Structure formats: structure tokens, C-alpha cells
């Protein structure tokens, strides 16, 4: 966010959002007190009453250890529950007002849960998975095209029937940009093999091959797009901004960003009236715009050449 945009947002925040955040500071303080003081105290009192009435005898050490373990479990789970409830309230009430500043809006994730699972499952950009969790979904426009940003977690079952467990195979953001004019062929720039039958494209650049693998259902068209100059641009971008996993599939530009933090989450440890909470969210979204700017610049160059 540049200085001009930041000043505009500060004014917008003060006039449109700040008053709505004040009450949430009270909710946050109450939640912290309940999670860190009240519930552990109630638990210890309960354990003390049990010990007094039933006696612990020679098993005092075992009893103390059990109490301590129980205290840790209660703190972790109850604290996590309280934090989640607080963050969900802030997202529901404050996030839509923040996103309005950049002409984006929140989509009820319950309405798109099945839709997003089917879309992601059909894309070669993502690995095979069994379960899809969508924490957030926001939508808007980018250069006249529909832009949707999903915060997702993909999981799959691994192991034998007796020793089966569920592991996370992707955690981060999935960005889809609808525009049928970019590419006719499916082209995938990724780090793993596709789920379905696509042919790997031979890229004669060792630096690129160390970071990426390219696939397509139309090798000739893919090679005409992935020219040496385009490959050099992708390498240059990667060195400055990190890895860029994207694909042209189903008449969309698809982009995935690995992240272990919710892109639209307000910290439980920061005052919700602190504007930096929301500046960070807008910065994340503008970072996504920057990645799309780069990808579309590659495709626009090809369109001009053709």
C-alpha cells in the first residue's frame, strides 16, 4: 500500500470502521481472561474439591501430574475455542467493511463449500486430496474479470487400513481469475506431477527446472508460450518474490500461495482497533494483485505477438 492509498485508508478507517472495532476490544479482553485465568482456576478448584473429598493418599504425585496434564489440555483446547470464536466475530463484522475499501466482498463459505471442492479437485495445480476445508472466500474484480480468493486447507488419508492417518497436503490461498482470452491449452507451472494425464514440457533451463515442472495437454502451444524470454522472466520474479505456482485451466488463471496463516485473520493478541491489523490484510491482497499483474503480463505479451 503506497502512502496515498494508506492515507485514504486511514481516513476511511477512522470514519467507517473504527467505531465498530471498539466493542471488540472488550470481547477480546474478556476472552483472554476466560481462557487464561477463569477456566484454569475453575478447573483447579474442581480438582481440589475432588482431592479433599476423596483423598489421594500415596498417589499424590500421580494426582498432581494428572491435574497438570488436564490443566494443559483445558488451556489449549478452551483457549483455541475462545480465540476462534473471537476471530470469527471480527471477520463477520469488520472484515466486510475493510474489503469494501478495495471493492471486494465476503462470500458465505457455506454456499461455496461443495463448489470449491469440485473446482480444486479438477485442477492439476493441486495435489490429490480427500478433504477440503475453506475458511474464507472473498470476491471482486481484477481488470474487468471476476477474481475470487479462497483460504483453504487440503488433506488426504495415507497409510494402511490399520495405520491410516490424515495429513495436510496444502495450506494457503487459492486464487481464480476468470478470463477465457488468456490461453486455449491447459498449462501448469508447479512443483509436483499433475493428477491427470498431462505431458511434461522439456524446459532447457536448469535454474527453472530446479524450482518448477511444466505440464500441458497441448505441448506445442505450451512451448510457444514458455519461450526462453518468458522462462527468464519467471526465474527473475521467483528470485525477487518467491515461487509462483500457477496454471491456465478451465478458462481461468489459477494461482496458489502456500501460507500457514489465514490471510484474513486479525491477531488475537492485538487490539482490533489497531489499523495495522487491516493494513496487513489489504497488503496481502495487493500482493496477490502483483502476482496476477506478472502472470497477465506474460500472457498479454503473447497475445500482442500473435
- pLDDT digits 0-9 by tens, 74-84: 777 777 777 77
How far apart, in Å, are the Cα atoms of 227 and each of 182, 183, 211, 297, 302?
Answer: 16, 15, 17, 14, 10
**Model confidence at 72: pLDDT above 70:** yes
More confidently predicted of 27 and 231 = 231
Assess contact for 94 and 17: CB atoms under 8 A: yes
Confidence of residue 211 (pLDDT cuts 50, 70, 90): very high
Cell output for 302:
503473447
Q: Pseudo-torsion of CA 7, 284, 89, 39, nearest 10°?
A: -110
CA gap 90, 266 in Å, rounded: 7
CA gap 285, 175 in Å, rounded: 10
- pLDDT digits 0-9 by tens, 145-172: 999 999 999 999 988 777 889 999 999 9
Helix, strand, coil content of the chain in percent (nearest 5): 55, 20, 25
**Model confidence at 178: pLDDT above 90:** no
pLDDT of residue 164: 86
Q: How far is CA 61 from the centre of its chain?
A: 44
Measured over the CA atoms of residue 267, residue 268, residue 272 and residue 274, the dihedral's sign is negative
pLDDT of residue 155: 94
pLDDT of residue 90: 84
- pLDDT digits 0-9 by tens, 28-67: 888 778 777 777 777 777 776 666 666 655 566 666 667 6
- pLDDT digits 0-9 by tens, 182-206: 657 899 999 888 888 899 999 999 9
DSSP code, position 15: I
**Model confidence at 305: pLDDT above 50:** no
What are the CB-based long-range contacts (under 8 Å, 24+) for 82-85? Answer: 82/31, 82/32, 82/34, 82/35, 83/31, 83/35, 83/268, 85/31
CB-based burial label for 20 (10 Å; 0-12, 13-18, 19+): middle
Per DSSP, the three-state class of 190 is strand
Provide the pairing of β-strand 252-258 with 165-178. antiparallel
Global model pTM greater than 0.85: no
How far apart, in Å, are the Cα atoms of 94 and each of 22, 111, 273, 281, 303?
Answer: 11, 20, 10, 12, 41
**Model confidence at 303: pLDDT above 70:** no
The secondary element (H helix, E strand) that includes residue 252 is strand 252-258
At 266, give phi and psi (nearest 5°): -95, 130
CA gap 242, 70 in Å, rounded: 42
- pLDDT digits 0-9 by tens, 87-104: 888 888 899 999 999 999
pLDDT of residue 304: 40
pLDDT of residue 25: 83
Cell output for 61:
504425585
DSSP code, position 180: T
**Model confidence at 24: pLDDT above 90:** no
Amino acid at each position: 500500500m503506497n502512502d496515498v492509498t494508506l492515507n485514504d485508508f486511514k481516513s476511511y478507517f477512522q470514519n467507517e470502521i473504527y467505531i465498530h472495532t471498539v466493542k471488540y476490544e472488550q470481547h477480546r479482553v474478556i476472552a483472554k481472561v476466560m481462557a487464561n485465568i477463569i477456566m484454569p482456576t475453575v478447573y483447579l478448584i474442581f480438582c481440589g474439591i475432588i482431592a479433599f473429598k476423596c483423598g489421594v493418599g500415596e498417589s499424590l504425585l500421580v494426582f498432581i501430574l494428572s491435574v497438570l496434564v488436564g490443566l494443559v489440555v483445558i488451556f489449549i483446547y478452551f483457549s483455541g475455542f475462545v480465540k476462534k470464536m473471537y476471530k470469527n466475530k471480527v471477520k463477520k463484522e469488520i472484515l466486510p467493511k475493510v474489503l469494501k475499501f478495495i471493492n471486494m466482498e465476503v462470500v458465505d463459505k457455506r454456499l461455496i463449500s461443495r463448489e470449491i471442492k469440485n473446482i480444486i479437485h479438477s485442477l492439476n495445480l493441486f495435489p490429490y486430496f480427500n478433504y477440503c476445508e475453506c475458511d474464507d472466500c472473498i470476491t471482486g474484480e481484477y481488470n474487468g474479470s471476476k477474481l475470487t480468493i479462497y483460504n483453504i486447507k487440503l488433506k488426504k488419508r495415507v497409510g494402511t487400513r490399520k495405520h491410516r492417518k490424515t495429513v495436510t497436503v496444502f495450506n494457503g490461498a487459492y486464487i481464480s481469475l476468470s478470463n477465457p482470452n488468456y490461453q486455449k491449452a491447459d498449462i501448469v507451472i508447479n512443483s509436483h506431477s499433475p493428477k491427470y494425464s498431462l505431458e511434461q514440457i522439456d524446459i532447457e533451463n536448469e535454474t527453472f527446472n530446479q524450482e518448477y515442472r511444466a505440464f500441458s495437454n497441448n505441448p506445442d502451444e505450451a512451448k510457444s508460450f514458455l519461450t526462453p524470454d518468458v522462462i527468464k522472466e519467471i526465474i527473475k520474479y521467483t528470485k525477487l518474490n518467491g515461487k509462483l505456482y500457477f496454471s491456465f485451466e478451465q478458462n481461468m488463471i489459477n494461482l496458489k500461495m502456500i501460507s500457514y496463516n489465514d490471510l484474513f485473520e486479525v491477531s488475537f493478541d492485538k487490539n482490533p482497533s489497531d489499523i495495522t491489523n487491516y493494513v496487513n490484510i489489504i497488503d496481502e491482497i495487493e500482493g496477490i494483485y502483483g502476482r496476477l499483474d506478472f502472470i497477465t503480463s506474460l500472457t498479454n505479451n503473447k497475445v500482442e505477438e500473435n
